[in-house]
Amino acid sequence: MDFIITGGATKIKIQTDSDGIRLTSFQNVQTGTEYLHPPAQSWAFYVGNPFAIKVLRGGFFGSYFAQRHFRVAEALSTPEGGLSASLTCNELPLKIELFVEPISVGIQWTATLWNEGDEPMEMEIYLPMFLRSIVDSIESDRVHLPQIAGLTIPAGERYRQSYIGQLAAPFLIQEGNNEGFYILDENRNDLLDESAIEERLRSGENPFSMRSFISSDRFAAGGGEARFGHFVSEIHSVYLRPGQRVTLGPILVGAFTGSRWRALSIIGERRSGLPFHDSPEWFRHTYLIGEHGASSKGNFTDDLMEGLRLNRTVFADLFHYYSYWSGDDQTGYGPYVSRGNYLFPRSDMGGDEELREAVRRVHEAGGRILFSVEGLIVWRYSRIGPDMKRWAIMNADGSYLEVYYNFWHMCPACSRWQEELARICAELVRRFDADGVFINSTCATEYHPCYNPEHDHPSPYIWNWGIRGMLRRIRAALDEVKPEAVILAEGCADIAREFVDGFLSHGHSWSKFRLQDPIIRAVYPRMNDFESWDGEEDEEVERLLLWNFATGHRIYSHAPRRDRIAPVVERVKRAFDSAPELAEAKLLGPLTVRPEPVMCYRFEFEGRMILTLINPSANPVTVTLPAPKGAKSLRDKISGLSFPIAGDRSSIDLDGFDARVLDVER
């Protein structure tokens, strides 16, 4: 039986019969382009399209495909023009209810799976899995991902990352020749409170899963891997006890015409209801942040005042402070390694009283300071280290996770660790009157399942819910001692934004300098991501700093090349001061200007259009801008000068490494 389902610009064709279920077509209605292509080998037809399942361990270890191992018990058309199908597996005690429904912007996929066997099943479910998915060509297609701040890779490059882990949001975009499609997971189980989780578990549902996105040409199975052709998919890692069920999705799949900015706009609208924390006014008007590590000599007051002086050379009054804690007195490693000793300030620098006085002096001078702590690792030989083993992450084989040598890797879903970290953060703020905390690693590391039996997790895939629970406790603890204190986390994660005020990240270097589009900033105007410039080569530092500004990111004034970049930072700071709304304005996309390498981006704020304009070259240039529709002139927010529109163009002279903000006057 054939089911043709059309939602928005997306049309798919699904065939069902007693032998299985097959996705045979995936088209863009507006362009007529078919995105599924036949495989090079005829035997590869049965993989994916629309799903595959891998059982990771146990008696059912292996791979199972929709077109080969599943039987359709019933398939019905829904009143909305979709598909409702019941499937059973020939070789697995697994039942699936699949719903494919059209909506105005695409097609939603939802699946509920039941473990009908008598032993637990740990699985990876590839749903939807689009095998041989090509928009234009494998050479020209690009895949855009919300990795930290954003990542763009060729479709032919192998990629897999989890949300949250490296991925800050749950979506993938594939684009080629001015069209493409996106996959957006709209499941919000990560946001459920504890009572809702308990209710789901009592009803027989396990709401926990690890979600990953993959773009590859190889499918690993049975200890090896086979090349079936390029595919993209969302992967849901789940653990089901006998009799339990899990619901995946809804997962929205949508075709679009135009650039990836069209897809980003749709995704931004769909995610706009995500709750965000309301930051204090002083922080909302903070556009730059720095850092400082405690010196090996001197006292805390001298050291922190020197830190304030150094950060002010790049116009940052706020900075995070690390290595203020004592060493372990056992291994000979310095304080930098002894993560965990945060409540034991270095005695060689004056201890508690001196650190408290140092913070007072920073405040008196108009500065602000965040104490740095680690959210997910503890040095085994720190003062709290011996007690941390029982709260640490355990692998499936019973060993303890050890990404970093001699560190316990703490389980964010362990309530005892949540309480301890919240207590430490609150005590740092209370005892030293800090302006908040910077929590390292929290949103920049990998997703780590936890199999520690002492934690009694309902599923090993509890990381996201654990991160949110950990941050919720820290937020509540800080609110009790100093409500205006802020929390910054390393990395980026949309579901953390309900409790943290912003993020510090190295989107350029972590992506191997493939942060080409501000993907997360486009989807979440209020993300408050402070991006580092990270470059090393001549003019690269200035280019990356100016790109961060032009795309509306706040600035992480990271230590490298402070003296060199200070004049450019001053221009960026002046531009932010002239247009404070820029930090929270909606990013609409780039505006093509001439000559290269000048860049311009469009923003919208309270019905007004704003342009950022940068010259990432040391040489002065006259830039020509196409006038936005209805514009009469462009007014420089810094100088107040207006530039008239001649025909449909305007010309502006830019200095080398210049940064401007322009109001579009209509």
Global pTM reads: 0.95
Can you name the residues that pair with 489 across neighbouring β-strands? 439, 503
> Tokens in use for 84?
């409702």
Edge to edge, the sheet with strand 62-65 lists 62-65, 52-55, 121-131, 224-240, 210-221, 159-163
Residue 222 is predicted with a pLDDT of: 63
Helix (H, G, I), strand (E, B) or coil at 124: strand
pLDDT at residue 329, rounded to an integer: 80
- Asked if the model's pLDDT at residue 46 lies above 80, the reply is no
CATH number of 586-665: 2.60.40.1180
- Give the other-Cβ count within 10 Å of 568's Cβ: 23
Average pLDDT estimate for 216-225: 77
Average pLDDT of the chain is 95
pLDDT digits (tens, 9 = 90+) for 253-264: 999 999 999 999
Say if residue 582's pLDDT is above 70: yes
Residues 173-211 have pLDDT tens digits of 999 999 999 999 999 999 999 999 999 999 999 999 999
Task: Let me know the angle formed at the C-alpha of 294 by 292 and 295, rounded to the nearest 5 degrees.
Answer: 115
Task: Please give the average per-residue pLDDT across 250-254, as a whole number.
Answer: 99
Q: Domain 2-270 is of which CATH architecture?
A: Distorted Sandwich (2.70)
State the pLDDT at residue 545: 96
| pLDDT of the residue at 328 | 87
What is the spatial distance between Cα 97 and Cα 107, in angstroms, rounded to a whole number? 16
Q: What tokens were used for 205?
A: 């549902």
Residues 361 and 619: their CA atoms lie apart, in Å, by 42
Give me the DSSP letters along 302-314.
HHHHHHHHHHHTT
Strand partners, 23: 14
How are beta strands 121-131 and 142-145 bridged, if at all?
unpaired
pLDDT > 90? residue 41: no
Give the pLDDT of residue 560: 66
Q: Name 503's bridge partners.
A: 489, 529
- How many angstroms separate the Cα of 320 from the Cα of each of 189, 268, 288, 295? 33, 31, 12, 14
Question: Domain extents for the chain?
Answer: 2-270, 586-665
Which residues pair with residue 89 across a beta bridge?
70
Q: How confident is residue 18, by pLDDT bands cut at 50, 70 and 90?
A: confident
pLDDT at 533: 87
DSSP code of residue 472: H
The predicted pLDDT at position 538 comes to 65
- pLDDT for position 452: 98
Separation of alpha carbons 356 and 655, rounded Å: 44
Distance CA 253, CA 181 (A): 7
The pLDDT of 129-146, averaged and rounded, is 96
Mean pLDDT, residues 274-294: 96
- Per-residue tokens: 252: 């929205």
Span 471-496, pLDDT tens digits: 999 999 999 999 999 999 999 999 99
Query: By C-alpha distance, which of 497, 557, 532, 590 is closest to 168?
Result: 497
Does 335 score more than 90 pLDDT?
Answer: no
Position 535 pLDDT exceeds 80: no
151 pLDDT exceeds 90?
A: yes
Max avg pLDDT among 112-116, 539-543, 554-558: 112-116
Residue 374 vs residues 366, 385, 611: alpha-carbon distances, Å: 27, 13, 38
Per-residue model confidence (pLDDT) at position 576: 97
